[in-house]
A and B are shown apart, each in its own frame.
Chain A
Amino acid sequence: MPTLPAVRSCPFAPPDEYLRLRDAGRAVRVRMPTGSTAWALTRHADVRAVLGDPRFSSDRRLPQYPFFAPTQPSAHAPARISLIGMDPPEHSRARRAVVGEFTVKRLEALQPRVQQIVDEHVDRMLAGPRPVDLVEALALPVPSMVICELLGVPYADHDFFQTRSGLLLSRVPTVEERNQARGELWGYLGRLIDAKAAAEDPGDDLMGRQIARQKAESGGVDREALIALGFLLLVAGHETTANMISLGVMALLSRPDQLAALRADPSRTPAAVEEMLRIFTIAEFVNARVATEDVELAGVLIREGEGVVALSSVADHDPEVFPEPAALDFDRGARHHLAFGFGIHQCLGQNLARQELRTVFDTLIRRVPGLRLAVDPDELPYKDDAHVYGLHELPVTWD
């Protein structure tokens, strides 16, 4: 039986093992690193179907939940689970409480600040020595600063959460190391929330507004729920966008024709962002589910209690839906990709991510026209050892 997860041999395509799974059938039994088994789905239609079907649970406390790591983190995790691990109606309530913070209009209002943050980092990069690691200089600090300001977490502590969230999404650390990282972040957020809750004015930021709203509604603060929310947004806000920025810049620098096309017509950047999201589909480990009843899907009977992994990287390379899937083609109209998932758990921060990606690509193209890779593309260190695909380092230089 094939074992998941597997490693990509080319950053622009899913792992070869996953492509073989696709050829083996619509639903294939696989072994997870914990030793449990699950159904792997690979077709675009099947992945959408399972993620949009309420008969599949996202509850990570279920013993059959198919984790992509050798340990079941939930066994050691704090009691409270965050949005991505909840089912309705608990999930619907919790998501509804925060979704107003991420509306398209809200984010448009945030755009000037995002641009300012990007410009400041590009200024600093241009003033410094070259070559430079773009991950350090731009890809990580930009989303980090944005999510900190949005949440109301002091950016001055960024080293602390960058290292912890990196650890949590890596497959390398031991259970103890991961638990320690989780515990430290949990404690940090708890202290922050206590301080905000005790203050006269909790602050005009996401955490502050949640605290004010909870106090107005119930007179108190659901501390654990707020920690879980802050934890999810902080970790997700760091690693995902950062990795998409570095992969996207790598893609542009190694596909000069596509880069030239964007430079000639910047109005195409949103389409380019969708295509990059599709081709890389970096965070599929979140698309695991457990059947809560017997369901016929993808041509098989999935029994109650069986795990399912919806391999979105393969679905986003389904040749029936995206012809010549490994080709980066900004004109293909890739908006129905599944890089942000599908169904009720579709990424809450997706439009923030789109906005940051657009701003970074546009700004780099405009302000650093001579940008290029400082090493051979084959030497780039990809994150084959992490739950979220990306680059450990992206050395670049400019003329």
Chain B
Amino acid sequence: MRLIADTSRCVGAGQCVLTDPDLFDQDEEDGTVLVLDGEPAGERLEHAHEAVRLCPGQALSLAE
């Protein structure tokens, strides 16, 4: 699964970083999401699913 972030929709709420700081970070300047692992597996994939669900900007998605 590929983890995709649409930074134009990101509102910088950091819910993703709180879900998994190994998977996500935020740009220091504008707070938008940085994906640290574009193809998460195992537990990280579960965290990715949770972050997709929580993200208020609907900026994250998972694709085959």
User: Which of A96, A104, A105, A343 has the largest count of B CB atoms less than 10 A from its CB?
Assistant: A104
- Which residues of A are found within 8 Å of B40, using beta-carbon distances? none
B38 at interface, CB cutoff 8 A: no
**Which of A100, A345, A351 sits near B30, CB closer than 8 Å?**
A100
Determine whether B36 belongs to the interface, using a CB cutoff of 8 Å to chain A: no
Contact A104 B26, beta carbon cutoff 8 Å: yes
Task: Return A100 CB to nearest CB of chain B, in Å.
Answer: 5
Q: Find out whether the CB atom of A100 lies under 8 angstroms from the CB atom of B13.
A: no
Q: Is the CB of A103 within 8 A of B26?
A: yes
Contact check, B31 vs A103: say whether CB atoms are below 8 A apart.
yes
Given A95-B12, A344-B11: A336 and B53 within 8 A (CB)? yes
Which of A97, A100, A341, A350 is most buried by chain B, counting CB atoms within 10 A of its CB? A100
- For the A-B complex, the count of residue pairs with Cβ-Cβ distances under 8 Å equals 70
**C-alpha spacing A342/B57, complex, angstroms:** 8
Specify the chain A residue showing the minimal Cβ separation from B58: A52
B43 contacts chain A at the CB level, 8 A cutoff: no
Assess whether B54 is in contact with A103, with CB atoms less than 8 Å apart: no
Give the residue name and chain of the A residue nearest to B25 (CB).
Answer: A105
In the bound complex, do residue A102 and residue B57 qualify as a contact, i.e. CB atoms below 8 Å apart? no
Residues of chain A lying within 8 A (CB to CB) of residue B31: 96, 99-103
| B residues 1-39 touching A (CB-CB < 8 Å) | 11-15, 17-18, 21, 25-32
Least Cβ distance of A374 to chain B in Å? Answer: 35
- CB B3 to nearest CB in A, in angstroms, measures 18
Instruction: Say which residue of B11, B18, B30 sits within 8 Å of A346 (CB atoms).
Output: B11
26 residue pairs A–B, Cβ–Cβ below 8 Å: A52-B58, A99-B31, A100-B12, A100-B29, A100-B31, A103-B12, A103-B14, A103-B27, A103-B31, A104-B14, A105-B26, A105-B28, A335-B15, A335-B50, A342-B56, A343-B11, A343-B56, A344-B57, A345-B11, A346-B13, A347-B13, A348-B13, A350-B13, A350-B14, A351-B13, A351-B18
A residues sitting closer than 8 Å to B (CB atoms) are 52, 95-97, 99-105, 335-336, 340-348, 350-351
